[in-house]
Amino acid sequence: MSNRPPNKPYILNLILAHTLFVVSLFSSPAVWAAAVSHPTPEDMLPHFESWIALLLIFFAFGTAWLLNHRSPKIRASGTLLGSIGCFGVVWWFFWVLGSGVIESPKPFQAPMDALKPGILWAQTVIALLCGIGLIGVANRQRKSGEALALSSLNEPTRYGRTSRVLHWATAILFILMIPMGVFASMIPEHVWYRTEYNMVHKTIGFVILALFVIRLFWNRISKRPELDSSLKPIEKKLAHFAHVSLYVLLFAVPLTGYVMTSLHGYPSFIFAIEIQPFLAESKAYIYWGLFHKYVLQYIIYLMLGAHVIGALKHHYIDQHKAAFKRMVS
């Protein structure tokens, strides 16, 4: 065994990884459980909801950066953070069960509202399974000696570090927003933390919209890699359709939410900054709400499911290893 001391960059990155590990305990959706278990706004820090939103963003970008680090051990820390985020969703859901909102939600606006408790249960089970699976992935990464050499720009056969960090940060925030959005639509008007909860939800929505614009701009600077040559023509068309559809959703979901909120006469928020409605109050918010909370929601489930299943199929069934590694380390 070598007696050579570990190099300084490795030690610093390891310290950063474990710092993010601890921060993630507070930046997962579960932090809201702790925040509202003793529901007195006076006991909270000023603009506590802004701190929660900021921590969620920090968690997403920190995890995305670690997942694409050169060192396999640092990448394993990123995967472990993702696992903690999944378990955080499970923890958050058990707080939801004890909050009373499931038993006494806001009056249903559509018959599909009755499905929301079941949807939250399904999302919790998926989060639990993903958390367990990611622990196994992290363990394999930790034992791996394969360094990940990435440039900032995209390469002909794979995405560069910038695209990967943007991709995974956006994905983490978008996935966290799904159960958060379902629960937000169930909170009754009289519950004190409803406004604060929606402030976090809306802030993350604006961040996702900003990341969508940044990714479009970055794709103009650094050309996306070509699809793997081993894919069949129909598979390439399906992959392109899924890619475009997910981009449309990244734009449509926050935008329709913003329009719905404005037409309902409610302000929007970017952290503690209040944005007044830009449209006159109108009953049209009902139609925008149906689109935002029902139509797009189920399209998201279909597209995310197809995206994940397609990627796993290419990797494990078709053995298209290069296709999977275009974005995944």
Look at residue 30 in the predicted model and tell me its pLDDT. Answer: 44
Q: Look up residue 200 and give its two tokens.
A: 């976090």
Three-state secondary structure string covering 158-183: CCCHHHHHHHHHHHHHHHHHHHHHHH
Q: How far apart are the two ends of the chain, measured CA to CA in Å?
A: 28
- Tens digit of each residue's pLDDT, the chain (329 residues): 444 444 555 455 555 555 555 444 444 444 454 444 445 444 556 677 888 888 899 999 999 999 999 888 899 999 998 998 899 889 889 888 888 888 888 888 888 888 899 999 999 999 999 999 999 989 888 888 788 888 889 988 889 999 999 999 999 999 988 888 888 889 898 887 888 888 889 999 999 999 999 999 999 999 888 877 777 788 788 888 888 898 999 999 999 999 999 999 988 888 888 888 888 889 888 899 888 988 998 899 888 888 888 777 777 777 666 666 777 76
Contacts of 108 (CB under 8 A, 6+ apart): 114
| pLDDT reported for residue 28 | 46
